[in-house]
Amino acid sequence: MKKLIYFTALLFTSVLIGQNTYLHCGKLIDTKNGQVLESKTIIVSGDKILSVEDGYTEPATSEDMVVNLKNKTVMPGFIDMHVHLEGETNPNRYLERFTLNDADVAFNSIDYANRTLLAGFTTVRDLGGSGVNVSLRNAINSGKVDGPRIFTAEKALATTGGHADPTNGMKKELMGDPGPAEGVINGPEAARKAVRQRYKNGADLIKITATGGVLSVAKNGQNAQFTQEEVDEIIKTAKEYGMVVAAHAHGKEGMKRAVIAGVQTIEHGSFMDKEVAALMKQNNTYLVPTLSAGRYVEEKAKIPNYYPPVILPKIASTMEVLDDTFKMVINENVPIAFGTDAGVFPHGDNAKEFRYMVDAGWSPMFSLQSATITNALLLDMENEIGQLQPGFFADIIATNDNPVEHIETTENVVFVMKSGKIYKK
């Protein structure tokens, strides 16, 4: 009865709007059941999917629009759980901290967001910037600029000198002593204040840098950078404010502390072992592998002066272990979410992650599901995005080929609709 009432309400809405869009789909990926269906029609009304029907349904009125995707494969818009829309890799990236104004960052982010959307990623999780990402999210939501639906962590949380301390690499006169307002904490009380500040600033979730990082201007890329008490307080406070926590982590000890505390995701996980894998399964913690970042950084490290010298040994040591780490992760059946770390590589190339996941050993369908139903679940939007079902947001993309057979076709998305609006046709 509830379904009938809802369907009737959608029909009434479509009458008020005056135009529905009929997508004639040659193939359609059912992400929930892991199947590729044939000859389907998706009827879109406003920003939602009205129905999914067998065969090619003809429009009900002359005002309705038909989009011919009969020789395409249609699927839900992709969801990337790890991007940085405020910046993008280039040889001057470290200098730009001193040369770009917030306005420059904002204007650049509009281009990055647009590229991401046109690549088929209709929803993303931005895991740390200066806070411009909050304004970008709001501008997209209000229709002022084009881009994906954004869930943002605002400024990532760090410890003094740790990965995401914004003053790392500066001369002493510029370092100062950043604190919770700037996302730098030392001790549980500062941790609590930093989380509350992110909430005040408009963050949707919290990101912590549980270990050192590969690309930060600091020597150690693996060491744990929060005490257990600090991580526990961050998780506790975040839950009180209705937020989940994502943890950047490369080294084992930092991962253990973060998983024990209750983070939702581990980002990267480079030096994970079976002990950490078991903890993650026990706590239902998801790994976001970000394979694209590793591949890109390894290639650019061969170019003289692309990265500061202190970073090069960290890149080399991390890349040495990645293949073995992800073989273990697959064998241990660690929960996986799709994320790329876009910004470390050019925005818009996010879909290369699918090819890298398949190369690592995950199946094409598993990879597609990780970027749709899995990520929708983690964003608490499993009944709104990630599937092509009635009542879901009309986030719909198409490729020339069937990605289950040719995964690289995801890198050439030819049709993009987000919330019922066509952005690429």
Residue 3 pLDDT > 70: no
Residue 11 pLDDT > 60: no
Residue 5 pLDDT > 60: no
Q: How confident is the model at residue 321 (pLDDT cuts 50, 70, 90)?
A: very high
Position 6 scores a pLDDT of: 42
- Quote the CA–CA distance of 337 and 190 in Å, as a whole number: 30
Residue 105 parent element (H or E): helix 102-118
* Mean local confidence (pLDDT), 264-292: 98
Q: Which residues, other chains included, contact 199 with Cβ-Cβ below 8 Å and sequence gap of 6+?
A: 241, 243
* Mean local confidence (pLDDT), 312-318: 93
Q: How confident is the model at residue 18 (pLDDT cuts 50, 70, 90)?
A: low
Question: Which DSSP category does 182 fall into?
Answer: G
Bridge partners for 184 per DSSP: 158
pTM of the model: 0.94
Weakest-pLDDT range from 1-5, 101-105, 227-231, 242-246: 1-5
Instruction: Specify the pairing of strand 421-424 against strand 20-30.
Output: unpaired
Q: What is the pLDDT of residues 214-227, one digit of tens each?
A: 998 888 889 999 99
Position 218 scores a pLDDT of: 84
Is the CB of residue 246 less than 8 Å from the CB of residue 265?
A: yes
Question: With 0-12 CB in 10 A as exposed, 13-18 as middle and 19+ as buried, what is 146?
Answer: middle
Quote the distance between the C-alpha of residue 261 and its chain's center.
22
Position 14 scores a pLDDT of: 43
* Mean local confidence (pLDDT), 224-251: 97
Q: By three-state DSSP, how is residue 390 classified?
A: coil
Q: How confident is the model at residue 175 (pLDDT cuts 50, 70, 90)?
A: confident
Give me the count of residues in the chain: 425
Of residues 348 and 163, which shows the higher confidence score? 348
> In the chain, what are the domains?
2-77+387-424 (2.30.40.10), 78-350 (3.20.20.140)
Structure tokens of 26? Answer: 């040659």
